[in-house]
A and B are shown apart, each in its own frame.
Chain A
Amino acid sequence: NAGVTQTPKFQVLKTGQSMTLQCAQDMNHNSMYWYRQDPGMGLRLIYYSASEGTTDKGEVPNGYNVSRLNKREFSLRLESAAPSQTSVYFCASTIEQTAGYGYTFGSGTRLTVV
């Protein structure tokens, strides 16, 4: 019962480098989300995918892109990393976006940009 799996768990990047954060869920969920967590700011939504084949911007999308590769996988890409993107990134999924089921979260990726 893996749930939501995120890779890598830790990453250090230099300013300007690119990387992709991977997320996969094995619960047959339709909707997937990427959040970033910063001290004192809670979790802020970066991008989400209500269903396979669709993606939409959240609250803080600048500097990020996403791909819903298939129903299971939803990746987050930083094209040119900046120190302001130092954060903990969480992927989450739910059965249906509007059904009030709540989300299942991955364990997070801790990213430092130097």
Chain B
Amino acid sequence: AQSVTQLGSHVSVSEGALVLLRCNYSSSVPPYLFWYVQYPNQGLQLLLKYTSAATLVKGINGFEAEFKKSETSFHLTKPSAHMSDAAEYFCAVSDRAGNTGKLIFGQGTTLQVKP
């Protein structure tokens, strides 16, 4: 069965510092992988996705993520945090085999950005 684990429910960084949000997945077949962001009292917005075209994926707002099959990881990074990046971030995996392509979400990581 597929699963997603996000390491750290809360991450705090200073403005201008590197952002690193960790995601590890479990899947029996090469998956699709996604990062979503949720701002307070809003729905989820797609940040980026991996669908096997390239292992380094660039998304919106300066975020990027690298698919590492050997480590079963898909960590999200941003070189320099902005105050506006404070939000909750979700990693998700989708099984591309058969017709089961439902998204399975991690527990979420809340990013705090300190001035």
Binding site for B on A (CB under 8 A): 4, 33, 35, 40-45, 48, 50, 58, 90, 92, 97-100, 102-108
Contacts and interface: CB of A to CB of B under 8 A. Distances in A.
Interface of B: 9, 32, 34, 36, 41-46, 49, 51, 90, 94, 96, 98-108
Contacts of B36: 105
Contact of A100 (B41, B94, B99): B94
A110 B101 CA distance: 27
A42 B107 contact: yes
A58 B103 CA distance: 11
B43 A107 contact: yes
Taking chain A's interface residues, is the majority helix, strand, or loop, or is none over half, making it mixed?
loop
Contact of B9 (A40, A58, A104, A108): A40
A19 B33 CA distance: 34
A102 B106 contact: no
B32 A42 contact: no
B44 A105 contact: yes
B46 A103 contact: yes
A102 to B, nearest CB: 5
Given A105-B43, A105-B45, A98 B103 contact: no
